[in-house]
Every structure is written in structure tokens, then in C-alpha cells.
Amino acid sequence: MRRLPVLLLFSAIFLFLFLSQTYRFQPRIDIRPDIADTLNTLALEALKNLEVPVGAVLLYRDSIIGVGYNTVVRDTVLGGHAEINALNDAHKKNRAVWKQLDPSQMTLYSTYEPCEMCKGAMLNLSIRHAVFEGPKPVWDHIKMSIKSGLYECKKQRLYAPGMQENLFRRHPGYLSK
């Protein structure tokens, strides 16, 4: 009977550490030549600026609506990843209709597996489909899972009653609950 809780705990830890690896068991998909060419061109543009050579495109249904490449060094912006730049480009180009676009019809293609920041941006925008060519090593995923767990254990709330609520109320678009 004592083995069951230990087994459940081990299973939970295993799942936590390796959930991000499930794509390795799925078949690879073919990429349209025009998307492959665009990704390659974008990555080469990043390389010209001595950036990590990563390119990304955001598709809505079958049309490219945003493109990006790494600009961290060029722009001295930590968030200048190809995927974030592709999302920003798509938003700028489609600002008037952005909220009407169905995120389930969006797919982000990248030459390299998106990092945690880029995945976070995609999840925040409800974009669930990512396709990439170069996977990160398994060890990188394990390290990130551990870092994420440590972050969750160490984060704290600020004691400033009502501060954020009062700030939100000043925003003209805020609807209080």
C-alpha cells in the first residue's frame, strides 16, 4: 500500500519533466515550400546581424499574416525573438480585425523550438499550434521544468491592498467584476 503514493509521486514528476517531449512521438509534417523559403530567408536575415539564426511565421488558416526573425542583438531588446516578432508583426498588420481572428486557426512556424517566453506569448494569445524544425535538447527541457518549479515555489505576493485594482480602475477600458 505504501508503494502507491510513491509511484504516483514518481509518475507526476516524470510527467512534469517530460510533458514537453510528447511531440517526439508524433510524425513529422511536411512544410509548404513557400513557408520553408520564407523561414530560411528570415533566419538568414537574423544571421546577417550576428543574431541566432531563427525565423518564424504566423499563419492564419493557410496565409502568412506575420513574419519575424531574431533581433535581440540588433535592437538590444530581450524579447526580440523571431516568434515574438512574428506575433507582433501579425498584430500590427491585422490590428483592426485581430480580435475577430480565431486563434485555433493560427499556427506558428519556426526554424527552432520556441523558448518559454515565446510559448508563454502564444499561450496568452490562445495560439495552440506550433511547428518547428530544430528541437531543443531534452536536458534543456528538464532544466526549464526545474527552473519553472523553483520559480513557482519562490514567488511572493506584494502586500499593497487595492493598489492594482485602483490602477485598473483608472484605465478607460477596464470593466470591474
Residues labelled catalytic = 83
Ramachandran angles phi, psi of 26, nearest 5°: -100, 150
**Contact status, residue 112 vs residue 137, Cβ threshold 8 Å:** no
Provide the edge-to-edge strand list for the sheet that holds 129-134. 63-69, 55-60, 106-112, 129-134
- The DSSP 8-state label assigned to residue 102 in this structure reads -
- The DSSP 8-state label assigned to residue 68 in this structure reads E
Q: Which three cell numbers stand for residue 41?
A: 530567408
Cα 14 to the center of its chain, rounded Å: 22
Cβ contacts of residue 77 below 8 Å, gap of 6+? 71
Cβ contacts of residue 85 below 8 Å, gap of 6+? 56, 67, 68, 69, 70, 71
Place of cell 550576428: 50
